Amino acid sequence: MPLGSAETILLTQEENKQTDPMFKEVADLSVPMTSLDTPVYPGYPQPLRAIFTTVRDNGYASFIWSFAEHSATHVDSPGHFVEGALTIDKVPIKKYVAKGILLDFTKQAPKYAITRNDISSRLEKSGQNVGLGWMLFFHTGYTSKSLTSEWLNHPQLSDDACKYIVELGVEAVGFDAPGPDYAQFPAHKTLLPKVISIYENLTNLDKLVDKQFLFVGAPIALTGGSAASVRALALVS
Nearest distance from residue 236's CB to Zn ion, in Å? 26
Q: Which is nearer to Zn ion, 26 or 195 (CB)?
A: 195
Q: Is 118 in the site for Zn ion (CB under 5 A)?
A: no
Cβ 7 vs Cβ 13: under 8 Å: no
Nearest distance from residue 193's CB to Zn ion, in Å? 15
Nearest distance from residue 175's CB to Zn ion, in Å? 10
**From candidates 38, 40, 70, 199, binder to Zn ion by CB under 5 A:** 70
Positive/negative CA dihedral, 230, 140, 27, 120 = positive
Write the binding mask 71 to 90 for Zn ion: x where contact by CB under 5 A, - elsewhere.
Answer: -----x--------------
Q: How many whole angstroms separate alpha carbon 56 and alpha carbon 53?
A: 9
Q: Is 181 in the site for Zn ion (CB under 5 A)?
A: no
For residue 30, give the nearest of 212, 176, 220 by alpha carbon.
176
Write the binding mask 183 to 202 for Zn ion: x where contact by CB under 5 A, - elsewhere.
Answer: -----------------x--
From first CA to last CA, the distance across the chain in angstroms is 36
Return the number of other C-beta atoms located less than 10 Å from residue 112's C-beta.
16
Nearest distance from residue 40's CB to Zn ion, in Å? 10
**CA-to-CA separations, 73 to 84, 91, 152, 199, 201, in angstroms, rounded:** 24, 18, 16, 7, 5
Q: How many whole angstroms separate alpha carbon 160 and alpha carbon 162?
A: 5
Residue closest to Zn ion (Cβ): 70
Nearest distance from residue 127's CB to Zn ion, in Å? 32
Three-state SS sequence of 107-176: CCCCCCEECHHHHHHHHHHHCCCCCCCEEEEEECCHHHHCCCHHHHHCCEECHHHHHHHHHHCCCEEEEC
Of 50-58, 104-112, 140-148, 219-227, the window that binds Zn ion (rule: CB under 5 A) is 219-227
Nearest distance from residue 85's CB to Zn ion, in Å? 15
Judged by CB under 5 A, the chain residues 119 through 148 that form the site for Zn ion are none
Residue 30, helix vs strand vs coil: strand
Please work out the total of residues on this chain that contact Zn ion, with binding judged by CB under 5 A.
Answer: 4
Q: Which is nearer to Zn ion, 205 or 227 (CB)?
A: 227
Of 42-50, 68-76, 144-152, 211-219, the window that binds Zn ion (rule: CB under 5 A) is 68-76
For residue 212, give the nearest of 132, 156, 130 by alpha carbon.
130
Nearest distance from residue 200's CB to Zn ion, in Å? 5
Residues of the shown chain interacting with Zn ion in the complex, contacts defined by CB under 5 A: 70, 76, 200, 227
